[in-house]
Structure 1
Amino acid sequence: MGTKLVNPPGLYDGAPVGMSQAKVDLASGFVFVSGQVDWDRESRVRHATLAGQAEGAIEHLATVLKEADASLEDVLQLRVYVRGELADGMSQIVPVLARHFAAVRPALTGIGVASLASRDTLIEIEALAKLPEHP
């Protein structure tokens, strides 16, 4: 059956670096979403706070999933990468994640990292989802 590339027009264009915002495996219905950050189309961070960037990354995640014919409710797994010590950011991240995923309760891994895609990027969220109408 093959695969389908997902690249919503309002998000960062990954073509120059050889990536897509997501790739759908048409046989299984799995949607593999690249790490989403709080960037505008010109790769500039939109919010200064960790909570603001988490909201922005989830907003982009929802946009990518919609383009793939899925939604946040279809997320099976999240990986959340946070610049610095993960424990230091939990009080800002947990309310944002709970607001968007409390009913879904995906598998979740949080990882503290030394750096992300830009110096101003504080959080990156990647996901695995499954198309809702796929067996």
Structure 2
Amino acid sequence: MNTKLVNPAGLYDGTPVGMSQAKVDLESGLVLVSGQVDWDRDSRVRHATLEGQAEGAIEHLVMVLNEAGSSLEGVLQLRVYVRGELAEGMSQLVPVLARHFGAVRPALTGIGVASLASRDTLIEIEALAKLTGRP
């Protein structure tokens, strides 16, 4: 399989745990993006609110997609994992998702979970995208 690993320098390094921020299948043009969270390079959460963390995770998603040769417009599917009952965060989450993905309208699954990668992490967003021809 002809693949490319994507690990933007501005994001935390997943090498110690054996992961990449994304992997591109160059034959199919698909970009599989690992769950993006609102962490700094030292794996610390940057924002305290669900809305702030969603914005931060999407900021990281954009960074990964751009380095992979894609963009938000290339996103085919999103999975959004939210700590706790999903319905309780919808009023904060929907405006953020609509602002970034309203015109794209990817397939979307929202999942409420008991925990995420750190105690302070409230949201994780993973994506399946296609290459859009960006370098």
TM range (shorter): over 0.9
Q: Does 2:41 match 1:44?
A: no
Which residues in structure 2 correspond to 1:51-70 (within 5 Å)?
A: 51-70=51-70
Distance 1:25 1:33 in 2: 11
Q: Following TM superposition, by how much is the alpha carbon of 1:128 offset from its aligned partner in structure 2, in angstroms?
A: 0.1
Which residues in structure 2 correspond to 1:72-83 (within 5 Å)?
A: 72-83=72-83
Distance 2:29 2:111 in 1: 27
Q: Following TM superposition, by how much is the alpha carbon of 1:132 offset from its aligned partner in structure 2, in angstroms?
A: 1.8
Distance 1:114 1:66 in 2: 31
Which residues in structure 2 correspond to 1:16-27 (within 5 Å)?
A: 16-27=16-27
Deviations for 1:74-103, whole angstroms, at most 9, x for unmatched residues?
A: 000000000000000000000000000000
Letter of the structure 1 residue corresponding to residue 71 of structure 2: S
Distance 1:2 1:73 in 2: 24
Identity percentage of aligned residues: 86
Distance 1:77 1:28 in 2: 16
Partner SS state of residue 32, structure 2 = strand
Partner SS state of residue 95, structure 2 = helix
Q: Does 2:90 match 1:90?
A: yes
Distance 2:73 2:130 in 1: 9
Root-mean-square deviation (CA, aligned residues, Å) is: 0.7
Letter of the structure 1 residue corresponding to residue 125 of structure 2: I
Unaligned runs of 5+ in 1: none
Distance 2:65 2:98 in 1: 18
Distance 1:29 1:12 in 2: 25
Q: TM-score, normalised by structure 1?
A: 0.97
Which residues in structure 2 correspond to 1:104-119 (within 5 Å)?
A: 104-119=104-119
Letter of the structure 2 residue corresponding to residue 53 of structure 1: Q
Distance 1:88 1:17 in 2: 32
Unaligned runs of 5+ in 2: none
Partner SS state of residue 77, structure 2 = strand
Aligned structure 1 segments of 4 or more residues deviating by more than 3 angstroms: none
